């Protein structure tokens, strides 16, 4: 059998959700370029597009937005459960547990019922941000802030998280960030979601499994490490020295390189523009000059190898300017990616076959059973 570690380059499903042209730096959702969606759409409209395949009519979008707004609140039982989580626990672990707990309240495994599917989508899109914001306040010893019905999706999350209403520009930029992170083909967490979905379990378990996969340091969390790297560099003048050391020691450069792209990630370009827009209004982050200096140095030495900035390189700078704590960067990623995970869940149900890949066995051949009393001699071998 042909063995491909990590299934690299092995097609395992058909999908019409997302297309990546890594050689030319193109990303489309359902055929729409990411640049157009980030400029003209909203996160909830993009979510509708990803999950149901077409842009909604004005009335369908209003109905969807109203349903999401109505279901933002979470049961007091979920909040009480979260109050029992250790304050030192990672927010991704809290989110995975909270997402799974929704299945106790809403799961009927009626995945052949279109209304159940719609309701599950609405609940997960609506409640995941509320749970992320709630844990942030709970671990600080405070009661969660209830959602505000007069605020749109992204503005409401920032309000619940920071305890103050945000500038409309900040809310719009955050909404565009959610669009950029909403979907990216069959990455590790999305594959996890599809594998879980293929067993026909409930969608809350599907999302919980995807969150758990995203929590791994090889998948989510790189934007946290980018900020740490930039702070370690400290000033633009040290960018070249840091890069030299990283190359000499074969150390991974955080925020650079992507398995799909051989040019600059199109999402990184948009996020850089969003960062500059934020800084123009609210003041520059001093680490931004370090980032641009580092990118310039890396372009000459890593660019010829097809290693360019990915989505994580500038996103952390945007998030922290919005007042989002560093260890919430990945949960915010999850808030967005729920849209893509649910799109793949629905698509998997449409032509389902449970995933059951093969393996190449490398263990011992048939061995002779040895009674327990005869095994002492084995310890001396």
Catalytic residues: 258, 312
d(CA 285, CA 325): 15
- Sort 64 into a burial class: Cβ within 10 Å, 0-12 / 13-18 / 19+: buried
Closest CA to 38 of 140, 154, 159, 212: 154
Question: How far apart are the C-alpha atoms of 255 and 251, rounded to whole Å?
Answer: 12
DSSP state of 322: T
User: Which sign, positive or negative, has the C-alpha torsion 26, 30, 31, 34?
Assistant: negative
At residue 33, the 3 state secondary structure works out as strand
Residue 119: helix, strand or coil by DSSP?
Answer: helix
Q: For residues 334-372, b (16+ Cβ closer than 10 Å) or e, as one string?
A: bbbbbbbbbbbbbbbeeeeeeeeeeeeeeeeeeeeeeee
Residue 381 β-bridge partners: none
CA–CA distance, 120 with 217 (Å, rounded to integer): 29
């Amino acid at each position: 059998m042909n063995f491909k570690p990590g299934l690299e380059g092995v097609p395992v499903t058909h999908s019409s959700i997302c297309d990546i042209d890594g050689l030319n730096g193109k990303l489309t959702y359902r055929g729409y370029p990411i640049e157009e969606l980030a400029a003209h759409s909203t996160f909830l409209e993009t979510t509708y597009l990803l999950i149901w395949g077409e842009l909604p009519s004005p009335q369908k979008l209003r109905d969807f937005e109203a349903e999401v707004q109505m279901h933002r609140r979470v049961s007091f039982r979920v909040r009480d459960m979260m109050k029992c989580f250790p304050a030192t626990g990672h927010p991704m672990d809290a989110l995975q547990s909270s997402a799974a707990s929704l299945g106790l309240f809403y799961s009927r495994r009626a995945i052949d019922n279109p209304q159940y599917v719609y309701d599950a989508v609405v609940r997960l899109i609506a409640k995941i941000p509320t749970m992320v914001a709630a844990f942030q306040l709970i671990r600080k010893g405070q009661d969660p802030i209830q959602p505000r019905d007069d605020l749109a999706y992204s503005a409401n999350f920032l309000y619940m998280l920071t305890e103050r209403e945000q500038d409309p520009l900040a809310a719009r930029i955050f909404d565009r960030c959610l669009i950029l992170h909403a979907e990216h083909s069959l990455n590790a967490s999305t594959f996890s979601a599809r594998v879980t979905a293929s067993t026909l379990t409930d969608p809350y378990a599907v999302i919980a499994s995807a969150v758990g996969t995203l929590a791994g340091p090889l998948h989510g969390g790189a934007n946290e490490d980018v900020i740490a790297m930039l702070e370690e560099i400290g000033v633009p003048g040290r960018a070249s020295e840091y890069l030299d050391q990283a190359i000499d020691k074969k150390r991974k450069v955080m925020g650079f390189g992507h398995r799909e792209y051989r040019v600059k990630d199109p999402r990184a370009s948009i996020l850089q523009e969003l960062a500059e827009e934020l800084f123009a209004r609210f003041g520059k982050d001093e680490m931004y000059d370090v980032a641009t200096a580092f990118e310039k140095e890396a372009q000459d030495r890593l660019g010829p190898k097809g290693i360019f900035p990915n989505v994580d390189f500038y996103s952390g700078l945007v998030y922290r300017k919005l007042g989002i704590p560093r260890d919430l960067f990945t949960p915010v990623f999850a808030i967005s990616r729920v849209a893509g995970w649910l799109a793949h869940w629905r698509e998997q149900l449409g032509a389902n076959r449970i995933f059951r890949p093969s393996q190449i066995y490398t263990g011992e051949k048939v061995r002779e059973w040895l009674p327990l009393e005869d095994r002492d001699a084995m310890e001396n071998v």
